[in-house]
Amino acid sequence: MATKLTTTSLETSPTIRATTPHVNQHTTSLSDTSTAPPIDKSSIADSGPKSRLSWTESPADQPKTTKKPAMCKDTVASISEPVQRNSYGLSDGAWMRDGRGHGNVIYLTNGFYGNTLLEFRDMDTFKSGQASNSYKLPYSFTGTGHVVFNGAFYYNRAFSRDVIRYDLRHRYVAAWTTLHDAILEEQAHRTQTELEFAVDESGLWLLYPALDTEGFHQEVTLLIHLRHRDLQPIQSFRTGLRRGRFGNSFLVCGVLYAVNSMERRNANVTYAFDTHTLTHTVPSLAFTNAHAHTAQLAYCPLDKKLYAWDNGRQMTYDVVFAY
């Protein structure tokens, strides 16, 4: 089924001046303002055919960037072997902590599609299977790329290009935006999460495939830094990732990492994109998919661990920094 897309050109604009919205629902293309680094074809996270995307910008057109003062130890040296914390639910799902929260509360969605978010007071209550709270979402979610951040649940509305901020305290949709430039498979054919939220030390991010109007009108994967209250873009980046050519991704201190497989037991982190320096690298870090179906992988800045849902098992990985 053909879908008409609204596309916009990607311009070099490092920030958007914050404005206070008058309504809770927004319709926008998040790639309207973007930093557009040239793509290093050698660093695509796959050993197969490389992307033909290319940009030829003059030095004057390219943004001047410097490494921001580090808010964390932002050079990942290795990732530990996974530790199983629990066994709960279906083969697909997501579990997480609030990246700006307090305490040890755990949130969980069970399955690739649904309308319920469960809350557990801590790890012990999670292991007992006794949820301390349950949220009936007004719109169903799809995929496993959702997050909880600053007291709200962020997710992709099922059968749509809409992303939603659901306020957990007041239980209502606090913000809503439509990704007009997103290229998503028809719902019936989706086998992998295509739209992923992420949280790191600097806030809320969104990763999704979009139509690029600059180079050859091909697909490009955008990484957007969002204002968490109204889902409006702060800054946008074109990455070197291509849909279907990597397994999972996660963000640590402004650096996007991608694992080359979600099912191969002995996988590797084979791609990294630094949003501070706009550089692409091939880190080649070992990564273990212990149960051969890592449906979700997300970084939590509170404890600096990776949280994964691997074939109905809830796993954590320690992130080891170089310094």
Residue 37, both tokens: 């680094």
Domain with 271, as residue range(s), is 70-321
Quick check: 177 and 186 in contact, CB under 8 A?
A: no
- Position 50 in a domain: no
pLDDT computed for residue 244 by the predictor: 82
Assigned domain for 173 exists: yes
Q: Would you state the pLDDT for residue 9? A: 33
Q: Is 132 among the domain residues?
A: yes
The number of distinct structural domains making up the chain is 1
- Whether residue 297 is contained in a domain is answered as yes
Helix (H, G, I), strand (E, B) or coil at 77: strand
- Of the chain, the percentage scoring pLDDT greater than 90 comes to 66
Q: Is residue 1 one of the residues assigned to a domain?
A: no
Report residues of the chain scoring pLDDT below 50: 1-28, 32-70, 188-189
Read out DSSP for 294-308? EEEEEEETTTTEEEE
Beta bridge partners of 271: 258
> Cβ(94)–Cβ(118) under 8 Å?
no
Establish if 22 belongs to a structural domain. Answer: no
Confidence at residue 186, expressed as pLDDT on a 0 to 100 scale: 64
Scored b (16 or more CB within 10 A) or e, 222-244 reads: bbbbbbbebbbbbbbbbbbbbee
CATH of the domain at 269: 2.120.10
Q: Give me the pLDDT at residue 247, please.
A: 92
Question: Is 18 within a domain?
Answer: no
Encode pLDDT of 18-58 as tens digits. Answer: 333 333 444 445 554 444 343 343 333 443 433 333 333 33
